[in-house]
Amino acid sequence: MAGGKDNKGTSVGTVGLLAGGGLFPICFARGAREHGVRVVAIALKGEASEDLSGEVDEIHWTHLARLGQWIRIFKRAGVRHAVMCGAITKSRMYDDPAIHLPDVRSMKLWYGKLRSRADHTVLESIAEEFESEGIRIESSVLYCPELLAAPGCITRREPTEREWRDIRLGWPIAKQIAAMQIGQTIVVKDGSVIAVESMEGTDATLRRGGEIGRGGVVAIKVAKDGHDPRFDIPCVGPATVDVLKEAGVSALAVEAGNTILLEKEKIASRAEAARVAVVALSGDEMQARK
């Protein structure tokens, strides 16, 4: 079987996939297999979709905090390159500890090696553990770079002037929130920030913002500057648009080149039907629109 190439041009015959929830792991697996690459998936129970089973060559279902087990699975499968993609429900760390009882390697990392427990630090430390065992963690869009949003309006309807004012106001604030590793999404209405994403995740933030603002709100979702493409890329899919409609969000602005759009055509069609404007903006464009 022909192999793909990693971001340094090295031939890759098998890629490991540490999969959380949502469509992204499925889209990644499809892209990898289209490149002739065998996909070995570790699917996180309670997060990853059952549909992933039909998109990969080998799948292993495990709980969170099984770092030692994950490494053993990948090494047995001959994995030298892997990606981490898909959503993890952050609040699950407060579930009954017995559900996510960590293995020894996870405990050593959590209690001995972590400098902090911010998302980026945890994921970077997990990547270092993999790489210490000869498994390189690659960009999560290694085989599907076309998923990254190109600049421009995704829907036929562009934001109104009122919506543009809120986007211009909220963009630098959202970038600061992302830089502080608090969240990637804020909700704005009439010049006021009414909801900021934290541990509850994007969907809950959108719903809360829509409820407080009573509809007609604007959402902004960005990556932090200098984000790590291995696990730091914001993601929007058709289900996100359903939440936008439910919450009464009239416009969504995302960061071009730094946001994954899953099933872009479905995003556009659902947003059109819901009268939601969706636009991807670059930092330079935002500077020009000030």
pTM of the model: 0.88
Q: Do both 237 and 188 map to the same domain? A: yes
| Same domain for 247 and 202 | yes
Mean pLDDT value of segment 174-193: 95
pLDDT at residue 151 tops 90: yes
Q: What is the CATH number of the domain that holds 86?
A: 3.40.50.20
Work out the average pLDDT over 46-56: 96
Judge if 155 and 133 occupy the same domain. Answer: no
- Does 199 fall in a domain? yes
Q: Does the structure show a pLDDT above 70 at 272?
A: yes
Task: Give yes or no: residues 120 and 215 share one domain.
Answer: no
Same domain, 153 and 176: yes
Domain total in the chain: 2
Evaluate whether residue 279 is within a structural domain.
yes
* Of 123, 126, 121, the residue nearest 68 (C-alpha): 126
21 and 103 fall within a common domain: yes
Residue ending a domain, choose from 89, 115, 137: 137
* Window from 99-113, 189-203, 244-258, 270-284 with minimum mean pLDDT: 99-113
Domain C-terminal end among 92, 109, 137: 137
Phi, psi of 114 (to 5 degrees): -70, 130
What are the φ/ψ torsions at residue 12 (nearest 5 degrees)? -130, 115
- The answer on pLDDT for 117 being more than 80 is no
Helix (H) and strand (E) counts in the chain: 9, 15
CB 216 within 8 A of CB 237: no
Q: In this structure, are 27 and 155 located in the same domain?
A: no
Same domain, 10 and 69: yes
Average pLDDT over every residue of 53-77: 96
Query: Is 19 within the bounds of a domain?
Result: yes
State percent of the chain over pLDDT 70. 90
Long-range contacts of 239-243 (CB under 8 A, 24+ apart): 239/22, 239/23, 240/202, 240/203, 240/267, 241/266, 241/267, 241/270, 241/271, 241/274, 241/276, 241/278, 242/270, 243/202, 243/203, 243/206, 243/207
| Same domain assignment for residues 166 and 243 | yes
Structural domain ending residue among the three candidates 91, 115, 137: 137
Domain that holds residue 234: 148-288
Residue 107 domain-assigned (yes or no):
yes
In a domain? residue 143: no
Tens of pLDDT, residue by residue over 19-34, are: 999 999 999 999 999 9
Residues 74 and 174 in one domain: no
In a shared domain, residues 127 and 189: no
- The token pair that represents 17 in the structure block: 């996939």
Q: Residue 247 belongs to a domain with what CATH number?
A: 3.40.140.80
- Predicted confidence (pLDDT) per residue in 238-257, tens digit: 999 999 999 999 999 999 99
Give residue 96's pLDDT band: very low, low, confident or very high (50, 70, 90). low
- Kindly state whether residues 71 and 157 are assigned to the same domain: no
Beta-carbon contacts of residue 146 (< 8 Å; ≥ 6 apart): none
Evaluate whether residue 142 is within a structural domain. no
> What average pLDDT score do residues 210-232 get?
93
Q: Please, which pLDDT band fits residue 9 given cuts at 50, 70 and 90?
A: very low
